[in-house]
């Protein structure tokens, strides 16, 4: 089971869009049993597949809807409120992934309030537990038996949530817009990658697939910054040879009532589909070949 995470502590660089495309590529095109994990308290990834609900306890936060398998009459579900997010791992409760409209694709959604609580812990012994919790969950035999791939969308932060993703992941990809601030976000992620790499066992390294130029526009700014990254001897080999262009259609399919719902359901020659196929197949090749 490969655990792929999209990370960058700068927001708005397209982590969710990349996660979604990758998850759909793996499940739709490669027929891999794929689990999406939304580790961002903003819950945008979850919202792609589920009708997230407003949390009455925290009006600004979202929480997962009632699980389709929840049956209040079933004695097994007696102690369950019918909602399950990935944040349950911090509360000692089971995670029940939700099916999506894509066969083979499940999601363990976020829960704003609970994820924010985990992100805000500062006491060292608790932080340590938070750091290890996602890895513990994903290493469990149940998860290994149920899925071939896991795709994690992360919060734009360097805090406990992102660190726990670093500890759990087998591969990370850093999407970035080719502009100064998002590139600084790459630095933050490389720092976490370094910290994690130095304490990992040799036989399960955290592999940096690379920096994925995202929302690329043929402007001097984007081209110059991409070139300067590519030309640096150390960084250059981690700049992926593929990229996502700035296309409104990537945002359009995110809308709740869009049709088709996935880029991969577009007709063959569609420029956005061609590009998504090229990027995702390159990354999948690197991970699964």
- Could you count the other beta carbons within 10 Å of the beta carbon of residue 199? 8
Only segment of 94-102, 122-130, 228-236, 243-251 that touches other proteins (CB under 8 A) = 228-236
3-state secondary structure of 161: helix
Among 3, 186, 215, 287, binds other proteins (CB under 8 A): 186
Residue 218 near other proteins by CB under 8 A: no
Only segment of 80-88, 125-133, 201-209, 258-266 that touches other proteins (CB under 8 A) = 201-209
Residue 228 near other proteins by CB under 8 A: yes
Residue 216 near other proteins by CB under 8 A: no
Spatial distance between the Cα atoms of 44 and 50, rounded to a whole number of angstroms: 10
Spatial distance between the Cα atoms of 254 and 49, rounded to a whole number of angstroms: 10
Spatial distance between the Cα atoms of 85 and 269, rounded to a whole number of angstroms: 37
Among 12, 74, 93, 187, binds other proteins (CB under 8 A): 187
Least Cβ distance, residue 120 to other proteins (angstroms): 25
Residue 255 near other proteins by CB under 8 A: no
Residue 135 near other proteins by CB under 8 A: no
Instruction: Report the candidate in 8, 114, 10, 102 with the shortest Cα–Cα distance to residue 50.
Output: 102
Residue 205 near other proteins by CB under 8 A: yes
Residue 181 near other proteins by CB under 8 A: no
Residue 146 near other proteins by CB under 8 A: no
Only segment of 53-61, 67-75, 188-196, 260-268 that touches other proteins (CB under 8 A) = 188-196
Nearer Cβ to other proteins (45/193): 193
Nearer Cβ to other proteins (197/246): 197
Residue 240 near other proteins by CB under 8 A: no
Residue 193 near other proteins by CB under 8 A: yes
Contacts of residue 211, defined as CB under 8 A and 6 or more positions apart, other chains included, come to 174, 175, 176, 186, 229, 235, 238, 239, 240
φ, ψ at 178 (rounded to 5°): -80, 65
Q: Are strands 2-6 and 149-154 parallel, antiparallel or unpaired?
A: parallel
Burial of 257 (0-12, 13-18, 19+ CB in 10 A): exposed
Residue with tokens 């495309």: 21
Among 43, 107, 229, 280, binds other proteins (CB under 8 A): 229
Nearer Cβ to other proteins (5/115): 5
3-state secondary structure of 200: coil
Residue with tokens 């409104």: 248
Residues that bind other proteins (CB under 8 A): 180, 183-184, 186-187, 190-191, 193-194, 197-203, 205, 208, 220-221, 224-225, 227-229, 232-235, 238
């Amino acid at each position: 089971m490969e655990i792929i995470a999209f990370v960058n502590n700068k927001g708005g660089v397209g982590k969710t869009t990349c996660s979604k495309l990758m998850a759909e590529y793996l499940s739709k095109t490669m027929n891999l049993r794929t689990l999406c994990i939304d580790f961002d308290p903003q819950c945008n990834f979850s919202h792609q597949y589920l009708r997230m609900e407003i949390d009455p306890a925290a009006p600004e936060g979202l929480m997962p809807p009632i699980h389709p398998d929840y049956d209040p009459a079933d004695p097994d579900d007696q102690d369950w409120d019918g909602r399950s997010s990935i944040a349950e791992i911090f509360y000692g409760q089971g995670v029940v992934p939700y099916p999506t409209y894509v066969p083979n694709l499940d999601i363990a959604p976020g829960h704003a309030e609970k994820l924010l609580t985990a992100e805000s812990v500062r006491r060292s012994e608790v932080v340590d537990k938070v750091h290890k919790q996602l890895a513990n969950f994903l290493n469990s035999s149940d998860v290994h038996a149920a899925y071939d791939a896991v795709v994690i969308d992360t919060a734009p932060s360097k805090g406990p949530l992102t660190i726990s993703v670093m500890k759990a992941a087998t591969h990370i990809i850093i999407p970035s817009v080719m502009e100064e601030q998002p590139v600084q976000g790459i630095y933050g992620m490389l720092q976490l990658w370094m910290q994690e790499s130095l304490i990992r066992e040799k036989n399960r390294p955290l592999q940096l697939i690379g920096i994925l130029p995202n929302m690329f526009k043929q402007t001097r700014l984007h081209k110059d910054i991409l070139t300067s990254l590519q030309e640096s001897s150390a960084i250059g080999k981690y700049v992926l040879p593929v990229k996502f262009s700035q296309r409104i259609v990537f945002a359009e399919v995110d809308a709740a009532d869009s049709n088709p719902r996935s880029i991969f359901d577009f007709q063959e020659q569609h420029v956005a589909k061609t590009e998504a196929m090229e990027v995702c197949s390159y990354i999948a090749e690197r991970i699964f070949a």
